[in-house]
Structure 1
Amino acid sequence: MDLTESAPDRAFREEVRTWLAEHLVGEWADLRGLGGPGREHEAHEARLAWNRLLADHGWTAVGWPTEHGGRGLSLWQQVIFHEEYARSNAPAGVNHLGEQLLGPTLIAFGTEEQKARFLPEIVAVRELWAQGYSEPNAGSDLANVQTRARLDDSTGEWVIDGQKVWTSLAHLSDWCFVVARTEAGSTRHNGLSFLLVPLDQEGVDVRPIEQLTSGSEFNEVFFTGARTAGDLVVGEPGRGWGVAMGLLGFERGVSTLGQTVGFARELESVVDRARTNGSIDDPVVRDRLAGLKAELSVIRSYALRSLALVSGGEDSAAGGGAGSIFKLAWATWHRTLGEVAMDVAGAEGLLARPTQPAGGYDLDDHQRLFLFSRADTIYGGSDEVQKNILAERVLGLPREPKGA
């Protein structure tokens, strides 16, 4: 991938930078830095309003084709947008799952009616989406899904029963895309369907899961006779596995380049703390910080190369080596950064600030980084799953034996 920016690309970077500088002022300036991983609960309504302001100015779904409401930006221009957005410290988006995952999936697999119904609402940030994949016994092994759905012949609706878990922001979402087993007696990848399900209805119970970081952005979602229209199945009924895997292919798209900018800001904050408390004078600490900086540069370069491969059709983002290597690299790097942050903080890192009501507590940025980053190597495809993908699909090694 040629990383030399053309004159139009430089002009576009300046356009993005200027717009953000002109609009992240006044009431919006207070939102800077809010809503990142482990902090999705922060200022949700204000961030929703900010996202709708972005939509009004054409800054949502920037990579979508123009015929579907996007800007149709090139791969490199999408990278520029997400990098400049992260550099501005603008607040985290509220509809990543709708814009970055479901939208591209509907464009690729949905009917014209589904596109017309849902894509404009996602672009305008009028409807928020959650992801109904993981279950208590189907996390990394998604093919073990047990949530079931059947067609009610009297109404033509799908009736859904089952449980999903680790459902990000379901308590704030309007809809959920749900992988459910729709063929009786089917097993593994067969007989699954990809359904679009409204959450505001009887038969849906959303229960937030309280986390160590004091937020509750993850949820359990229980479906008990919940319903959705018969035509809200994406792809053919019983063939939802391909749609579900296609969606995962969009999960590690260009927005992840902005993630590395955020990582660089976090690293710099740890370096600043090390300078302030003198731990930078410890040669071991200094060496670890220098190593993290060098590794992050390599990760960014690899991410750009991976995106170029996917864009050029040379690698499968859903199951190919590029996406898995990138996930392994950044997740391990970020977890290590959290550990180094605690080493730099020393004894101060062991103390949380008490809050009201009694028994509550608040964390500083580095404590939250350490605790939340422990999950980086698990969510979005665990390290073990990524290594199996590389071993089996890239290196051609035998499949991992399944336990009895």
Structure 2
Amino acid sequence: MDLAFTAEEQQFREEVRDWVRANLPQDIAYKVHNALHQTRDDMQRWAKILGSKGWLGYGWPTQFGGPGWSAVQKHLFEEECALAGAPRIVPFGPVMVAPVIMAFGTPEQHKRFLPGIASGEVWWSQGYSEPGSGSDLASVKTRAVRQGDKYIANGQKTWTTLGQYGEWIFCLVRTSTEGKPQTGISFLLIDMKSPGITVRPIIMLDGGHEVNEVFFDNVEVPVENLVGEENKGWTYAKHLLSHERTNIADVNRAKRELERLKRIAKAEGVYDDIRFRDEIAKLEVDVVALEMMVLRVLSAEKSGKNPLDVAGLLKIKGSEIQQRYSELMMLAAGPYSLPFIQEAMEAGWQGDYVGAAHCAPLAATYFNMRKTTIYGGSNEVQRNIVAQTVLG
């Protein structure tokens, strides 16, 4: 196992770093480094910049218009983007549904859907979770009944991240109730402008609007929007979730946020507290260990060996690390980590915001990170999977 990067890989890193520095808008980078709210325009602007370079689908093979990078190159690209302060690529299109369309879609679906994803022009949402069907996705109840050349979809999805911006949504729907629950699920691509779709916001504790409920009331979906075969959607869902769980680990963002934690601790005068610095050190050790695990997977892929089946383990450790650094930031900031409520700031009654601008979003970040150990398959479920597939 070789965890060192080659001279060619280091040169690739420098090329990516130079390009990102030259093309990343600094107003966006400032927001990312300080965890400030990113608008749809911020995220879409960076996606289109990457799309014009051919790098939004950075994990895509050349036959579908991607750069055809190796696993190591993809890792280096993600790291340089994160450290520069680039917004995290909204994964639903380029990272999640695109690989499913490539692997199981028809040539017509390739031509129809992939260009808009690669350019950053089309915003995709994910329709998986439902009330009562989160980690147990096999129990989804949203129905799609075929009538001639279309499906009629009825049901509800929930926790749809950034669904208020969605133009298309990929959904798991139940097309059969016979046999095991997994055998009656299909994978549909649905235009969110279709009559009968209602998106209702779920307002979070800090007042933010990130997640939504999506309702389907007799929504007509053309049969040609079915990916693969009817009732085989569970297979495609598992293919997609392997990409999501690796993405959730997000070791590169953890490295960037670790440095932010140190800045906050120094600004608030707690970095000199040896016990608090011990907690930062323990977190840094775990971030390095997570990175080593990622590099082990990359090394196995590069050498042609079977990569370690540790997507679930990466998800477990990555999500726990995200919760820990957000909690330590809260502890460092103390009262200044109160929720960032814009109306209160404008009214002038939420304290000396100007004197602690670096702390304002911390409560929102802390609340938001509570979800990471649940979505993408809860960590409890992931531990069972790891026990079965890795430990035997």
Alignment partner, residue 272 of structure 1: 263
Q: Give how far 1:207 is off.
A: 0.8
Contact in 1 for aligned 2:142/2:173 (Cα 8 Å): yes
In structure 1, how many angstroms separate the alpha carbons of the residues matched to 2:35 and 2:156? 23
SS in 1 for 2:181: coil
Alignment partner, residue 386 of structure 2: 390
Query: Going by fraction, where is helix more abundant, 1 or 2?
Result: 2
SS in 2 for 1:135: coil
Residues 140-219 of structure 1: matches in 2 within 5 Å?
Answer: 140-153=135-148, 156-219=149-212
In structure 2, how many angstroms separate the alpha carbons of the residues matched to 1:214 and 1:171? 15
In structure 2, how many angstroms separate the alpha carbons of the residues matched to 1:244 and 1:360? 48
Residues 171-320 of structure 1: matches in 2 within 5 Å?
Answer: 171-253=164-246, 259-309=250-300, 314=306, 320=309
Q: Give how far 1:314 is off.
A: 2.9
In structure 2, how many angstroms separate the alpha carbons of the residues matched to 1:210 and 1:192? 30
Are residues 390 and 214 of structure 1, via their aligned partners in 2, closer, same or farther at CA, if it must alter by over 3 Å?
same
Give structure 1 stretches of 5+ with no counterpart.
397-404
Q: Give how far 1:384 is off.
A: 1.1
SS in 1 for 2:195: coil
In structure 2, how many angstroms separate the alpha carbons of the residues matched to 1:379 and 1:56? 31
TM-score (norm 1): 0.87
SS in 2 for 1:279: coil
SS in 1 for 2:145: strand
Contact in 1 for aligned 2:72/2:298 (Cα 8 Å): no
Give structure 2 stretches of 5+ with no counterpart.
354-358
Aligned partner letter, 2:52:
D
Alignment partner, residue 30 of structure 1: 27
Alignment partner, residue 356 of structure 2: none
* Alignment RMSD (CA, Å): 2.6
Q: Give how far 1:368 is off.
A: 2.6
2:69 is the counterpart of 1:77: no
Contact in 2 for aligned 1:37/1:372 (Cα 8 Å): no
2:5 is the counterpart of 1:2: no
In structure 1, how many angstroms separate the alpha carbons of the residues matched to 2:252 and 2:268? 25
Are residues 236 and 51 of structure 1, via their aligned partners in 2, closer, same or farther at CA, if it must alter by over 3 Å?
same
Alignment partner, residue 324 of structure 2: 336
In structure 2, how many angstroms separate the alpha carbons of the residues matched to 1:333 and 1:249? 19
SS in 1 for 2:129: coil
Alignment partner, residue 335 of structure 2: 347
Are residues 351 and 124 of structure 1, via their aligned partners in 2, closer, same or farther at CA, if it must alter by over 3 Å?
closer
Are residues 168 and 308 of structure 1, via their aligned partners in 2, closer, same or farther at CA, if it must alter by over 3 Å?
farther
Alignment partner, residue 380 of structure 1: 376
Aligned partner letter, 1:314:
N
In structure 2, how many angstroms separate the alpha carbons of the residues matched to 1:368 and 1:196? 32
In structure 2, how many angstroms separate the alpha carbons of the residues matched to 1:197 and 1:380? 21
In structure 2, how many angstroms separate the alpha carbons of the residues matched to 1:261 and 1:244? 26
In structure 1, how many angstroms separate the alpha carbons of the residues matched to 2:189 and 2:34? 25
In structure 2, how many angstroms separate the alpha carbons of the residues matched to 1:219 and 1:261? 27
Q: Give how far 1:89 is off.
A: 0.7
In structure 1, how many angstroms separate the alpha carbons of the residues matched to 2:314 and 2:6? 26
Alignment partner, residue 402 of structure 1: none
Alignment partner, residue 113 of structure 2: 118
TM-score (norm 2): 0.90
In structure 2, how many angstroms separate the alpha carbons of the residues matched to 1:66 and 1:14? 22
Aligned partner letter, 1:148:
R
In structure 2, how many angstroms separate the alpha carbons of the residues matched to 1:215 and 1:107? 34
Correspondent of 1:134 among 129, 133, 144? 129
Q: Which moved more, 1:367-376 or 1:81-90?
A: 367-376
Alignment partner, residue 55 of structure 1: 51
